[in-house]
Structures are given as C-alpha cells and as structure tokens.
Amino acid sequence: MSLVYVLGNAGMDLSLGMARLPAPGETLVAHDVARAPGGKGLNQAVTAGRAGAQVIFAAPIGRDSDAAQLKAVLAQEPLTFEAIALDQPTDLSVIMVTPEGENCIATAGLAADGLDVAAAEQFARRAGPDDWLLLQGNLSLAATKAAMRATPGRVIFNTAPLRWPVAELLPFCDVVIANSVETAEITGCEGTAAATRMQTMGARCVIITLGSAGAVLATADGLCTLPAPKVVALDTTGAGDTLCGVLAAALARGNSLLEALQFGQSAAAETVTRAGAYAALPSAEDLKRLGSALRK
C-alpha cells in the first residue's frame, strides 16, 4: 500500500448551534456550544487513517495548551503526527451551525500561515513516487506551491478554503477536489464545464463536489456525474474533509479514482447525519462497513 502524506493545518474548533445564521452586523445568541480538535488538514488525516491508510501528518501548531490537547488527541488516532512548533497561537475556527445543517466558518490561522517554504519542502520530499501528498488551502500559497514542486509523490489538492489564486498550482496536481462555489470562482464556469476548464488549466483529474446533488468527475477518459447518497443532513461541516481523506486512503490502497470517489461520497453522507466536525467523522468501524457495502 502507498503512504498518504498530509501537510495541512490543525487547530481547535469552537462550534455554536444557531437557530439561523446571522446577517451582516447582527448579533444572535447560540443555543449550544462545543469545543473539539479541527482543521481541514487534521480532519482529512484522521479520516484517511481511519480508512486504513498509513498516514504521516505534519501541521504547524503553537506552544500552548491547545497544541498539547491536539497532540494528546492525535496520539489516539491511527496516524503519525509530526507537530511543527511555531511561536504563534494554535489555529482556531468558529463554526456556526443551524438545525438544517447549514454552516458558516471563521478561522484564525496564524500558525498555518507561519509554515515556511523550507519546512514544506522537507516534508513533501519524503513521499515516494507511489505515495500521495494531500494538501488544502489553509497554508500559505508559497508553502503549498513549494510542497507540490518538491514532492516525488502524487498530489491531491483540496482547494478549500479558497484564500489565494490557485491557477498556477493546477499543473502540479494529479487530483483536484473543489466545491461548486470554488470552481466557479476559479474558472468562471459551473458543473462539467468548470471541470473541463480546470483540466485545460493543468489539473490531471478534477472532482467537483455538489453537496446533495452529487459530484462531477473529470479524468483523461472523460466526464461523469455521480449522485450523492440520500440522507437527512444534520450538519454539513466535515463532509468535504471526510471525502478527501477517505478518497486519499482508497487511492493509496490501489482503488481507481471512481471507486475512491464513491467511497468518499458514502463516508461524507455518513458525516452529515451527525453534529460537529471532528465528532462527526466516521469511525474506523463505520468506514469498514461502508467499504464492504460498496464492494457488494
């Protein structure tokens, strides 16, 4: 089995249960509060590990109590966590979620932004040509590009959060995963047209996630649209991270991209039926069950 190297952010999530999301300038009172580990890099590394991949996860964190809590939590997960300690506060996200599962997120990412090019390159170079390097948009553009350029491995890039122009990165990517809002901003197109456009911009394969409408997959063999499993969504916060992590694990196991995406969709559907982000991530037992169901 190939290895999955994840370079991304790790922080704490402060989740607020809201009757509805506030309008600009409006103050609302939350009816529920929860605090848990989070960050797109962390969530994706955890789900990849729980899905059976051998995962090496590196993330910049502070030297504070939040960093100590993250280390303790990740020591219980099936992955190797390599903390990159910086003189910045550990990242923090505030997530507001409605009873219908809609959410909005604000993130402070000083530690993620503080990861330098040299550290990104050093980590990325460790991947072998058959391994996968999974990246997101939380780090700086310079560090992300440096990792992509330096790695001998194959690159999966999740464009969320879309913080800076990504066009120059696409030629380094074997698989790009983006949602419909992100792809519209990147390409000015929607749906299959956006996927094709991203391929012409250099990405080898493109996945556009469409929420309950499914996903678009574009490869060298053509385009297809996959329906999403039908579930009642409670909280959509961690769905994209679950899909990315499970997909990376499936590719490392040798599955085709289509098979990996179907597994990722199934796991993401499980995630949205639960509240929270880290707390909603499927367990290893969940993922084993979902994988077995897909193989039937």
- Chain position carrying tokens 């997960």: 77
In whole angstroms, give the CA distance from residue 138 to residue 35: 20
96 is in an annotated binding site: no
240 is in an annotated binding site: yes
Question: Which tokens sit at 55?
Answer: 């995962």
103 is in an annotated binding site: no
Q: Among the options 66, 91, 131, 241, which is catalytic?
A: 241
39 is in an annotated binding site: yes
276 is in an annotated binding site: yes
**C-beta separation of 234 from 206 below 8 A:** no
43 is in an annotated binding site: yes
Q: Is 25 exposed, middle or buried (0-12, 13-18, 19+ CB in 10 A)?
A: exposed
71 is in an annotated binding site: no
Whether 131 sits among the annotated catalytic residues: the reply is no
In whole angstroms, give the CA distance from residue 80 to residue 105: 27
**C-beta separation of 197 from 176 below 8 A:** no
**C-beta separation of 41 from 10 below 8 A:** yes
12 is in an annotated binding site: yes
For the four alpha carbons of 270, 272, 273 and 276, in that order, the dihedral sign comes to: positive
113 is in an annotated binding site: no
107 is in an annotated binding site: no
For the four alpha carbons of 269, 33, 182 and 232, in that order, the dihedral sign comes to: positive
The closest alpha carbon to 41, from 147, 148, 160, belongs to 160
Q: Which helix (H) or strand (E) holds 279?
A: none
17 is in an annotated binding site: no
40 is in an annotated binding site: yes
291 is in an annotated binding site: no
Binding-site sequence positions for ATP: 179, 209-214, 240-241
Binding-site sequence positions for substrate: 11-13, 39-43, 241
Binding-site sequence positions for K(+): 235, 237, 271, 274, 276
User: Annotated catalytic sites, by residue?
Assistant: 241
Binding-site sequence positions: 11-13, 39-43, 179, 209-214, 235, 237, 240-241, 271, 274, 276
